[in-house]
């Protein structure tokens, strides 16, 4: 009900919940070039990005290190002021009204924690209760739901410093959601997590989006996150948006290859099977590449048939290789060196 009131009080006039129009951020970087001389260079960390995200969308925001992802997210949350362009989140100019916006968004950093390190998890949630002025009933309801879905029941009385990385991550996600944010920014939410924890986090996020229509912007290095969660993916590189569309579409213009890592009983010459090509041999371990769009099953079956197979795993294409491939497939696209303008 509180949510309804907020929405009517501040209607989003245009369609998008997040709107960027020619957003720019320039940093002046001073570099020592001599004992007394310093050279000032301008780095365009974000160089004219425009996009719109509608309410309820779940969008992957990906790119190599230093592409400008974090800089964009910092501007979206208002802790960094844009150098140029226009930016609105839920109708609010983030850097002007950071605190007002903060009540309506949730932020999770995979590598940092918002939780109170030395105190039991529940204390951090009580703090959120007061900080976001969450009505008591609403707080209890949301906490109960998060505790159930993120499996936090046994952890509430444990000091945060004693939690494992996966537990802490789940704790952080719950902390970001107690105040029913309309937008959730997730920065590498599955980094360093084991397979089971990753799956738990992804399942929770999917349900959250389905049930509450929470808009999610996800930055990640793990394309599997995107595959499981996002219908739409935006690729940023050198501060520019180089792709905006479906993941399937991205694979189509930058056909990735998956890698099959095969452990044999003993050293053998490179495996020869239809649909895959050997890329590396190291003792009894071999690496085979096959198109990301193809199924691994027939290849695995063929190898198991003809070779003394001990173990195998499949590696998904990483973001760097997808982006590298985008450029190699479309050599016409301008690749501008950093800080060239």
**76 counts as binding another protein under rule CB under 8 A:** no
Query: For another protein, what does the binding mask look like between residues 13 and 32, x meaning CB under 8 A?
Result: --------------x-----
Q: Which of residues 110 and 256 has its CB atom nearest to another protein in the complex?
A: 110
Q: Tell me the closest approach of the beta carbon of residue 338 to another protein, in angstroms.
A: 15
Q: Tell me the closest approach of the beta carbon of residue 239 to another protein, in angstroms.
A: 14
Count of CB atoms situated within 10 Å of the CB of 257:
21
> Which of 7, 55, 98, 206 contacts another protein by CB under 8 A?
98
Q: Which of residues 165-194 bind another protein (CB under 8 A)?
A: 187
Q: Tell me the closest approach of the beta carbon of residue 45 to another protein, in angstroms.
A: 10
**142 counts as binding another protein under rule CB under 8 A:** no
**79 counts as binding another protein under rule CB under 8 A:** yes
First to last CA, the chain: 50
Q: Which of residues 287-326 bind another protein (CB under 8 A)?
A: none
**99 counts as binding another protein under rule CB under 8 A:** yes
**Helix or strand or coil: residue 224?**
helix
Report yes or no: 249 and 303 within 8 Å, Cβ to Cβ.
no
Report yes or no: 125 and 143 within 8 Å, Cβ to Cβ.
yes
Per CB under 8 A, residues contacting another protein are: 27, 65, 69-70, 74, 77, 79-81, 98-100, 102-103, 107, 109, 111-114, 116, 118-119, 123, 126-127, 130-132, 159, 187
């Amino acid at each position: 009900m509180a949510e309804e009131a907020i929405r009517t009080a501040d209607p989003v006039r245009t369609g998008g919940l997040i709107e960027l129009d020619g957003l720019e951020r320039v940093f002046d970087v001073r570099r020592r070039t001599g004992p007394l001389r310093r050279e000032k260079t301008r780095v365009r960390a974000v160089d004219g990005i425009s996009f719109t995200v509608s309410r309820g969308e779940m969008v992957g925001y990906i790119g190599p290190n230093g592409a400008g992802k974090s800089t964009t997210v910092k501007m979206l949350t208002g802790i960094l002021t844009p150098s140029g362009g226009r930016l609105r989140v839920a109708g609010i100019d983030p850097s002007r009204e950071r605190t007002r916006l903060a009540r309506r968004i949730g932020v999770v950093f995979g590598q940092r924690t918002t939780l109170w390190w030395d105190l039991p998890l529940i204390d951090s949630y009580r703090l959120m209760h007061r900080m976001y002025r969450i009505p008591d009933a609403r707080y209890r309801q949301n906490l109960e739901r998060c505790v159930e879905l993120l499996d936090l029941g046994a952890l509430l009385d444990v000091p945060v410093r004693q939690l494992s990385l996966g537990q802490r991550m789940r704790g952080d996600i719950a902390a970001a959601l107690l105040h029913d944010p309309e937008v959730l920014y997730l920065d590498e939410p599955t980094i360093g997590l084991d397979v089971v924890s990753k799956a738990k986090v992804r399942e929770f996020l999917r349900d959250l989006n389905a049930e509450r229509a929470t808009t999610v912007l996800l930055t990640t290095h793990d394309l599997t996150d995107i595959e499981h969660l996002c219908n739409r993916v935006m690729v940023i590189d050198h501060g520019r948006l180089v792709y905006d569309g479906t993941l399937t579409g991205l694979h189509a213009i930058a056909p990735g290859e998956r890698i099959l890592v095969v452990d044999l009983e003993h050293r053998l010459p490179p495996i020869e099977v239809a649909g895959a090509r050997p890329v590396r041999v190291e003792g009894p371990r071999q690496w085979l590449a096959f198109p990301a769009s193809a199924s691994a099953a027939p290849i695995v079956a063929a190898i198991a048939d003809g070779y003394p197979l001990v173990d195998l795993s499949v590696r998904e294409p990483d973001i760097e290789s997808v982006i590298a491939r985008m450029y190699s497939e479309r050599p016409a696209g301008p690749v501008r060196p950093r800080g060239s303008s």
